[in-house]
Structure 1
Amino acid sequence: MGLLGWLFDAQVVIAGHAILWREIIGNLFGLASAVGGLRRQIWAWPVGIICNVMLFTVFLGGVFHTPQALDLYGQAGRQVFFCAVAVYGWVRWRATRRAGGGSGPAVVPTWAGRAGWVQLGTVAVVGTVGCFLVFRTLGSFGPLADAWIFTGSLLATYGMARGWTDFWLIWIAVDAVGVPLLVRAGYYPSAVLYLVYAGVVLYGFTVWLKAQRAESGPAADARTAPTGSTSRLKA
């Protein structure tokens, strides 16, 4: 198997805990993808797909007999859907860049607006409840938290593909639930990377917000902002 065989089985022991190298490497690709998204670069999408493929096997610990030996079906399943949404975002951002002359950022940030938040909120509630019932039946570890992480992550990725600045806020909510779950399940590199992501997310939100105001103009910003968001951001 050579390199692939080593990558699949290789482990490192940290503080007495066996950690898969592919969990570490996969999360580093995920961090690189987050940085690319912050900079609105198209390469963020294919790099993210590499992360998704690697982490899919990591979170099926019971199936692949990893050191954690736990199955997080929401964490694993979202990697599959991430790939599909990433292809959508990749195509959308490439089309936007071509329309803009082939240079500069691939998307101009905007607010999702009231209609967007109705859409996001409805999917968040229905998706979380539905996934919770499925994951509980399958025996997923922490099914309710896993269900929100699965649903919220897809919504955040979809929001990024649409160019909605709000998607960073959804990621914050995902990280707030994800860190405790991953620590309880023993996926320590992923938990640490979630904390790092939280810092990147907060910074990314400020970067996109500044870009939105500079590139969309104050009128567009005020017109599409969610109710109450303008006053909060100015406070």
Structure 2
Amino acid sequence: MNPLEWLFNATLVIGDQQILWREIIGNLFGLASALGGLRRKVWAWPVGIIGNALLFTVFLGAVFGTPNPVNLLGQAGRQLVFIAVSIYGWVQWSRTKNEEHVAVQPKWASWKARVGLGLGMIGGTLILTPIFRALGSFEPVWADAWIFMGSLLATWGMAKGWTEFWLIWIAVDLVGVPLLVSAGYYASALLYAFYGVFTFVGFLTWMRVQRRAREAELSAGTSPGG
């Protein structure tokens, strides 16, 4: 069996449950990408893309003949969106990184952008729910649509350097954990639970970076040479 074939078929058996190694490895790449995002490193984007590609095959269980024959179309579709937006973020952060390879200075989104994010989250969920239901996504379908829209907007916010993107991830995790447990994707549910704590830490970290940058600007402005 070659490595690619092993990766596609290998499972971890815990009691009567089978968990795909693809699901575990894909989520580990996602975690590594989140850590890179926390540190504002450009490598967070390509690492995340690898995880997205693996998880796309996981969440179309009925299509790929995996042990869990459940299709989560929002979860699968968001992996493709992640890849597209991640390419944009990769380019943006690569253009702005400094000599320490820190790629972005966190900032608050404008009120106009915040309203747009809120309307996009709610409106997108309402629009996608009947579409995902018609395509046979797992119930409750609104939760799958919510996760899809939140993931899209959070990734876009990260590319823009908006600190609020961490809060969108928290909203995604609160819905994602129970949905993934009910669908039998236990490895992903466990990681989502961890993400919930991690994203809160990320939010506080980016706020602290903003505060320090502001203090440095004020200090430079009031210094004798400033």
TM-score normalized with structure 1 length = 0.89
For structure 1, list consecutive stretches of 5 or more residues without a partner in the other structure: 221-235
State how 1:34-113 maps to structure 2 within 5 Å: 34-97=34-97, 100=98, 102-113=99-110
For structure 2, list consecutive stretches of 5 or more residues without a partner in the other structure: 219-226
Ranked by relative contact order (alpha carbons within 8 Å, sequence separation 6 or more), the top structure is 1
Contact 2:60 2:73 in 1 (8 A): yes
Contact 1:74 1:147 in 2 (8 A): yes
Q: Distance in 2 between matches of 1:139 and 1:38?
A: 35
Q: Deviations over 1:28-69 (max 9, x none)?
A: 000000000001000000000000000000000011111110
Count of matched residue pairs? 217
| Structure 1, 120-129 or 171-180: larger mean CA deviation | 120-129
State how 1:52-201 maps to structure 2 within 5 Å: 52-97=52-97, 100=98, 102-142=99-139, 143-201=141-199
Counterpart AA for 1:187: Y
Look up the SS of the partner of 2:151 in the other structure: helix
TM-score normalized with structure 2 length = 0.92
Contact 1:128 1:151 in 2 (8 A): yes
Who is 1:21 aligned against?
A: 21
C-alpha distance 158-216 of structure 1, shift in aligned 2 (>3 A): farther
Aligned-residue RMSD, C-alpha: 1.5
Identity fraction in percent: 59
- Deviation of the 1:104 alpha carbon: 4.5
Moved over 3 A (4+): 216-220
Q: Deviations over 1:173-209 (max 9, x none)?
A: 0000000000000000000000111121111111101
